[in-house]
Structure 1
Amino acid sequence: MRHPECGDERLAAGGEVSVARLALHDDDLPHAARHLADAMLHEPQLPELHEALAELCAKAGGAAAARDLFPVEGEVYLGTLVCRAHVEASAGDRDAAVGLIASAIAFDRTKPWADAAWLTDPELVALLSPDALAQSVTRVAGHLPDPLPEEQRPPLQPFEQLVRAVAARHPDHALLSAMASGLVRRFGDTAEAVRLAEHAQRTAPGFMPAVMLGNALRSDGRPDEALAVWEAQLAHAFDDYLAVDLAELYGATGRAADGLPWLERVLAAEPDHPKAAPALHGLRHRIDGGTTHLLALADHHRAHPDHDYAHELLAQLSWRKPWLGMVHPATEATVNVLHQFLNSPSSNRDSEIACTASQLEPPSSLLAMRLAFPRATVEYQSLPEPDPRRTLREVGTRIWAYDGLAARPAVAAPSAEAAELIRATAEISWPTLPAAYDHAVRLADLPLPDLLGALAHPPAPREDELGRALLARRPELWVRGVQAFACLGIAHHRTDQPWAESDRRRVLLDLLLGSEDWVNEAAAFALVTIAWTHPETRADIATQLGVRLLDVATSSQQRDVTTLQSICALMLCCPWADGGALSLARTMAELDREGQAEPRPEDEQARRQTHERLAELARQRPPASPPPARAGRLKRFFGRA
């Protein structure tokens, strides 16, 4: 869905106000109220909107009488909610008005709901009940990131300033001081957050002040003091959720083992605790590393789909990890040359680029080169042994055919409609492996030839900020993202067929065990994702990945194998696999890293900055709308609080 620009929003709001005025002229007040609610959703600060809202109240017989025109019972439209807040303020019920604004902020913090004349009036501070405001802060704070990014703060600043002022006016109201601490902490003022929470704890020692004080101390860089506060509170009155927070703070400070007993105490009383059980896997992951406990988090969430914390924690621990949360980087010499051309001021998309590689490389690397420079050519000087063009078994599906050392697609391009759907679906990062699997269900109805065609004929990146950045800096990541999601589309093909005899298994194994290429990695990624979401396939998939791993490990003793690190990483995503395969993957990955040249510090810094920028753009991109019939399966994709 396209997000309207500010001018579009203002124009849309003005149109709604015009229709509302026509309804007011006809004394059709409910009709006018609906259009004013629509206008409020578009542009809450439009002066004409507030003038029309005042006219509506006057025609209704006053603001108190106009309340019923903006009902807030049951499912409430956001524009209606905010209009009701303004009407309540006009009617004199400021506590109710602020509470409604708080609810609106909790639902959508991007709009300036709180930047209203009545809410920023200095006299409001003396009129508000500290009890009511504390409840309003509770509605807001829990929905905000901690800390709140600076660019997201301006719309909420009036509300935060109001809370500070009222808390200062009522210094003996411990609950308000405690809740205000939580809010200002999210705005980055950790010192003030500590002061407010300490004041609350001195005024009325108890659970909430202790929780807020610990959070404030942790954010202020004083974790040991936070641990002491929480342990003292737990000794006074045990609380399972606070015990989980304490355990995780131990983990965050490098003392995960000290946190385990607290989680075990919670789980002894409640084995399926929605937060303690996932947290235990998280702490054990901090201690042991690897993917065993990450898989356990995925299994826990599948068994307990209402335990959202398992998914949130898995997403945190998967973030930016190759294949667990994003595509694995490419290492071909062709890709390195591509980056040099992209960084050259003299290069442009129409440049005729000819480069030479010492030995044959995966043909998908040329896809990345030609995505950025369509007229580029690459000449390979030698054929290494073992021959990377060979397949590891007889395969019925081939993506590439060779004329000597020149590769050409062995599959036709996907249809225009299929290419556009794949383009809209492909990602370079994802929250978790199960989330990536769920997201790719949008491709389930595409014919196999279209999905296979996208592997050799990837569509161009989307025309958004991320797509433009990928094309300009890292086109190979987009190619790898397309291939990964095309293979995930194959993973969803004919899921009514039993796995062992299925078309999806046959085709993915053909791709995994075919000639050496990025397609092997994409197929391995899809197979690993299937195994994480369908445990009955795990033994088979680990065995098949082991075949590819043994080949790249053996071949790497005679020549460079650019897919080695990636295949090893995918094998290590299968902690249920044979110990020998896992040991081989760890050993080969380490040997390969030791044999690589150390990058120059300035090159590594530039690479990291580019990578972080692309990762952040990927996180910010809104999810594509799913087909209606399959929407329920996509709830985990980009499902971050």
Structure 2
Amino acid sequence: MDSPSARRDLVRAREALDNGAFVPAAGHLATALTHAPTLPEIHELLSRLAARAGGALELFPAEPHAPAGRLAARAHLLAAAGRPEEALPLLATASGHAPELDWAGVPWVGDPALGARIEPGLLARTVMRLCTAVGDPAPAATVTPLRPYLTVVRHALAAHGEHGMLLGAGSALARRLGEVRLAVEWAGRGAKAQPSKLGEIWLGYAFRSAGRMPEALAALRRAVAYDPEDLSVYADVAATLADLGRLDEALRWTELALERDPAFDCVVHTAHRLRYRADGDVRHLVGLADFLRDHPDDAHEHTDLEECCRNTPWLGGLPPGTPLPAGRAPVNAEPSADALHRLQRVAGPVWPHPPGAYDRALGLVLVEPWELLALLAHPETARADQQNGLEVWACLGLLHHGAEEPWPESSRRRLLLGLLDGEVDRVTQAALFALVTYAWVDPAARDDIAAVVTARLTETASGPNARAVAELALAAPGLDRPTRELAAATIRVPATPRQRGRGRSLLRWRRD
């Protein structure tokens, strides 16, 4: 791997070393490693620095939050000094910081002697920390750079025999890297060598990755038997039951866990996701969004809300199909080029979930409200082939202006309701989505916005673009059951088109 940036840092490091400036030389070498971790010239110059600076370890201190390049440099120096077992955890930390880089693609990591020298428990802990850092599954670009760590595990197992923790940790890494057969083999051996709750969890996860759901369920049930108080395993059992099509049983497991701790994050996420899967009611996802807002410091990141919203109209992005007609703007003015640029930079057809869309639009607080309104009729916005939902993002931007104002009397409410008055087009659709989004992030506004959505749905239910409003209604919090049923029926049964005049039924909701 070569890199112009690495070459520049290498030149600077060589100049500094020739001048006896060891600290600057070390800094340039550490930076060069972040661009090309396996470039031979960097390692050669690192060896020269070590020879001239008494090993040079003090030039690369392993402080908390040390940069990855510095950690890697120290690791290579330790390995060269005959201490590779001390070096590997540092190199793994560097891989955790930037797993797409080939930090471990160096000869000393692949040497079988390292596996024999490193203590199996230390290697297991190192691999577990690496697993936490790289994600599950690991992104495709990181798989090849991380495979050398599997090689170290193989060598260690060959040298030390059946070590339960190492087999389990190795299985977790193998699973993340797509080595499913190896993950099952190692987890099975680990659970047999050292029976434990964690061993059964690793085995259950490996079986899940292999699609062997009944065996996964059996392993996870054994994990619960080891420790009935670990509610996170209840969530795993519930998810596995759901994948087996046993949704009622799955929900009972979440209810049992929530009776013990109503705020246990893993179970709360799983319960809301499975309830939504059971009946498709958006209130479960809104409840999950509320939980996320009220518990920002959960132990680890969950993706249940994003996964449930993905590919669902308005929950995870713009609906597919032929776009509605372009709408009108209430402001007859020319927005600045900077305003258009900011809108285009934020806009896009996909978002993780409505609160995520709201957060993404925060940058539009730098665009004046009148410009956001003017952008609704800008030629770039009105183009028929415009697929980034510029109108949607302009209306979301309005939500961030006057945010300190109480919702019922706020200017943002007044502006959005003003945009909503008229035929169903891209502007009225965007304004309604902005209102729906605000209902997701502000529980106090839900009843008011539910009433607006209900009125709009009722007004348009038999019109030519009724489906566009019905899809938005199904994404709205707080709608009563008859309204949700009307929206669902509107989507299932195509409406008979007929001409309608400009709608006025929403005017009673406006508070100018």
Same fold (TM over 0.5): yes
Per-residue deviation, residues 358-417 of structure 1 (Å, max 9, x unmatched): xxx7136xxxxxxxxxxxxxxxxxxxxxxxxxxxxxxxxx528xxxxxxxxx64442111
Which residues of 2 match residues 555-570 of structure 1 at below 5 A? 556=463, 560-561=464-465, 564-570=466-472
Which residue in 1 is equivalent to 2:132?
Answer: 142
Q: 1:130–1:166: 8 Å Cα contact kept in structure 2? A: yes
Q: Distance in 2 between matches of 1:91 and 1:197?
A: 34
Counterpart residue identity of residue 587, structure 1: A
Closer/same/farther in 2, CA of residues 459 and 241 from structure 1, 3 Å limit: same
Q: Distance in 2 between matches of 1:411 and 1:438?
A: 28
More displaced stretch, 164-173 vs 511-520: 164-173
Counterpart residue identity of residue 211, structure 1: I
Q: 1:300–1:310: 8 Å Cα contact kept in structure 2? A: no
Which residue in 1 is equivalent to 2:509?
Answer: none
Counterpart residue identity of residue 241, structure 2: Y
User: Are positions 1:421 and 2:414 aligned together?
Assistant: no
State the TM-score, normalizing by the size of structure 2: 0.91
Equivalent residue for 2:221, pick from 228, 231, 254: 231
Equivalent residue for 2:29, pick from 33, 36, 60: 36
Q: Distance in 2 between matches of 1:197 and 1:593?
A: 56
Equivalent residue for 2:387, pick from 471, 477, 497: 477
Which residue in 1 is equivalent to 2:439?
Answer: 531
Which residues of 2 match residues 405-484 of structure 1 at below 5 A? 411-457=332-378, 459=380, 475-478=385-388, 480=389, 482-484=390-392
Q: Distance in 2 between matches of 1:594 and 1:100?
A: 67
Equivalent residue for 1:303, pick from 294, 309, 313: 294
Which residue in 2 is equivalent to 1:577?
Answer: 479
User: Are positions 1:266 and 2:187 aligned together?
Assistant: no
Give the deviation of 1:593 after TM superposition: 8.6
Which residue in 1 is equivalent to 2:209?
Answer: 219
Closer/same/farther in 2, CA of residues 198 and 546 from structure 1, 3 Å limit: same
Per-residue deviation, residues 83-132 of structure 1 (Å, max 9, x unmatched): 12112212222122111121122222111111112212344333332222
Q: Distance in 1 between matches of 2:197 and 2:496?
A: 52
Q: Distance in 2 between matches of 1:449 and 1:17?
A: 52
Q: Distance in 2 between matches of 1:321 and 1:413?
A: 35
Closer/same/farther in 2, CA of residues 572 and 180 from structure 1, 3 Å limit: same
Give the deviation of 1:145 after TM superposition: 4.0
Which residue in 2 is equivalent to 1:363?
Answer: 326
Equivalent residue for 2:85, pick from 95, 104, 110: 95
How many matched pairs? 496
Q: Secondary structure at the match of 2:149?
A: helix
Give the deviation of 1:156 after TM superposition: 1.6
Q: Distance in 1 between matches of 2:25 and 2:147?
A: 31
State the TM-score, normalizing by the size of structure 1: 0.73
Q: RMSD between aligned alpha carbons?
A: 2.4
Q: Distance in 2 between matches of 1:103 and 1:593?
A: 59
User: Are positions 1:493 and 2:401 aligned together?
Assistant: yes
Q: 2:101–2:142: 8 Å Cα contact kept in structure 1? A: no
Equivalent residue for 1:15, pick from 8, 28, 38: 8
Q: Secondary structure at the match of 1:456?
A: coil
Which residue in 2 is equivalent to 1:168?
Answer: 158
Give the deviation of 1:24 after TM superposition: 1.6
Q: Secondary structure at the match of 1:527?
A: helix
Q: Secondary structure at the match of 1:142?
A: helix
Give the deviation of 1:59 after TM superposition: 1.5
Closer/same/farther in 2, CA of residues 202 and 308 from structure 1, 3 Å limit: closer
Counterpart residue identity of residue 18, structure 1: V
More displaced stretch, 425-434 vs 447-456: 447-456
Q: Secondary structure at the match of 2:494?
A: helix
Give the deviation of 1:582 after TM superposition: 1.9
Which residues of 2 match residues 273-352 of structure 1 at below 5 A? 273-307=264-298, 312-331=303-322
Per-residue deviation, residues 296-322 of structure 1 (Å, max 9, x unmatched): 000111111123768521111111111
User: Are positions 1:589 and 2:491 aligned together?
Assistant: yes
Equivalent residue for 1:553, pick from 432, 450, 461: 461
Q: Identity of counterpart residues, as a percentage?
A: 37
Closer/same/farther in 2, CA of residues 76 and 594 from structure 1, 3 Å limit: farther
Q: Secondary structure at the match of 1:497?
A: coil
Q: 1:411–1:452: 8 Å Cα contact kept in structure 2? A: no
Q: 2:440–2:477: 8 Å Cα contact kept in structure 1? A: no
Q: Secondary structure at the match of 1:118?
A: helix
Closer/same/farther in 2, CA of residues 303 and 155 from structure 1, 3 Å limit: same
Q: Secondary structure at the match of 1:444?
A: helix
Give the deviation of 1:46 after TM superposition: 2.1
Closer/same/farther in 2, CA of residues 310 and 434 from structure 1, 3 Å limit: farther
Per-residue deviation, residues 319-359 of structure 1 (Å, max 9, x unmatched): 11111111112325xxxxxxxxxxxxxxxxxxxxxxxxxxx
Q: Secondary structure at the match of 1:153?
A: helix
Q: 1:443–1:489: 8 Å Cα contact kept in structure 2? A: yes
Closer/same/farther in 2, CA of residues 218 and 571 from structure 1, 3 Å limit: same
Q: Distance in 1 between matches of 2:168 and 2:367?
A: 54
Q: Distance in 2 between matches of 1:311 and 1:538?
A: 25
Q: Distance in 1 between matches of 2:362 and 2:308?
A: 24
Q: Secondary structure at the match of 1:495?
A: coil
Q: Distance in 2 between matches of 1:309 and 1:265?
A: 22
Q: 1:445–1:493: 8 Å Cα contact kept in structure 2? A: no
Which residues of 2 match residues 155-194 of structure 1 at below 5 A? 155-194=145-184
Q: 2:213–2:243: 8 Å Cα contact kept in structure 1? A: no
Give the deviation of 1:278 after TM superposition: 2.1
Q: Distance in 2 between matches of 1:61 and 1:308?
A: 43
Q: Distance in 1 between matches of 2:421 and 2:154?
A: 63
Q: Distance in 1 between matches of 2:86 and 2:479?
A: 58
Counterpart residue identity of residue 165, structure 2: L
Which residue in 2 is equivalent to 1:399?
Answer: 329
Give the deviation of 1:580 after TM superposition: 3.0
Which residue in 2 is equivalent to 1:76?
Answer: 66
Higher relative contact order (CA 8 A, sep 6+): 1
Give the deviation of 1:522 after TM superposition: 1.0
Q: 1:329–1:477: 8 Å Cα contact kept in structure 2? A: no
Counterpart residue identity of residue 61, structure 1: G
Runs of 5+ consecutive residues of structure 1 not aligned to the other structure: 1-5, 333-360, 365-397, 401-409, 461-470, 596-641
